[in-house]
Amino acid sequence: MRIAFQGAEGAYSEAAARRAWPHAETVGCESFEAVFDAVTAGRVSHGLLPVENSVGGSIHRNYDLLLESDLPIVAETELPVVHNLLALPGVRKGDIRRVLSHPQGLAQCERYLRRLEGVELVATYDTAGSARMIRDAGSKDTAAIASARAAELFGLETIEPAIQDFPDNITRFVLIAREPHVRGQADKTSIAFALHNAPGALFKALSVFALRDIDLTKLESRPARGRPWEYVFFADLGVGRDDMRCARAIVHLAESAQWVKTLGSYPRSAPALDRPVLDVSA
């Protein structure tokens, strides 16, 4: 099993893959698009994508890519995220003039960063990549928000640990593959759909799940790319695609929707905070 992830070694996506599938080989990619390309081309067997954070919300780019792609979701996992403020050895907090991190990392530490006066926040493509940039440039006035493992890998020191705004900071990841081979019993299904602009259209769409006692664990709308003021809905259903209730609900939804796409059906992950406590930053 080879799992592609976006970012450098030490990224949270790599940590999530190593935690959920400890015997898998992990392969870093520069972008989320590159993860999809690696799976499609067969260079890896799977790709792991962050799709939602309990503080920062959805990673919208990955929902757009899931919609554009035909690669199905075959599993999910959750990772408690611990952010640390990292810098080169000898750098003090008062020396810092810039902080680098992925936009989600910056958003998840917003309260802490607000207290750093005169510091520029710079969004980068990756948390661990930010740590590597500081190492490579030898920047004595720059810090990164990243994991403790990133500090070890790139020779940085932790100026301040666990700076995230909320202790229960959890990121949800989905595993994609070329074929819908699911390990275990699927009890969750992700779909996307678009509706005609008509009174009560969303009410009617959601009623197909309520009538069958299907729990919606997520519902979110996104602008339809290339179609101004039209929207796509993403939903997670608390039931597997092979369950007759789910199958009938999706058929029922398709009768009134513009279109419906199943993104994958897979076993739901156990809540991250219910698992044994591990050093998730390693």
Domain total in the chain:
3
Per the prediction, the chain carries an average pLDDT of: 92
Instruction: Note whether residue 117 is domain-resident.
Output: yes
Instruction: Note whether residue 250 is domain-resident.
Output: yes
Q: What is the pTM of this model?
A: 0.86
Instruction: Note whether residue 272 is domain-resident.
Output: no
Closest of 165, 139, 134 to residue 151, by C-alpha: 134
Catalytic residue among 5, 36, 173, 209: 173
122 in the same domain as 174: no
67 in the same domain as 100: no
Residue 121, domain extent: 84-160
Instruction: Note whether residue 278 is domain-resident.
Output: no
- Tell me, yes or no, if 203 is annotated catalytic: no
- The answer to whether residue 282 scores a pLDDT higher than 60 is no
CA–CA dist 20, 49 (Å, integer)? 13
pLDDT digits (tens, 9 = 90+) for 55-113: 888 999 999 999 999 999 999 999 999 999 999 999 999 999 999 999 989 999 999 99
217 in the same domain as 154: no
130 in the same domain as 66: no
What average pLDDT does range 38-66 have in this prediction?
94
What average pLDDT does range 163-177 have in this prediction?
93
Which one-letter amino acid corresponds to residue 275?
R
Catalytic residue among 32, 171, 193, 209: 171
CA–CA dist 37, 47 (Å, integer)? 9
Closest of 263, 265, 111, 281 to residue 191, by C-alpha: 263
Query: What stretch of H or E contains 183?
Result: none
How sure is the predictor about 273, in pLDDT bands with cuts at 50, 70 and 90? low
176 in the same domain as 69: yes
pLDDT digits (tens, 9 = 90+) for 234-269: 999 999 999 999 999 999 999 999 999 999 999 998
- The answer to whether residue 232 scores a pLDDT higher than 60 is yes
CA–CA dist 158, 152 (Å, integer)? 10
> Do 86 and 159 meet the contact criterion of CB atoms below 8 Å apart?
yes
- Tell me, yes or no, if 171 is annotated catalytic: yes
CA atoms within 13 A on the CB side of 268: 15
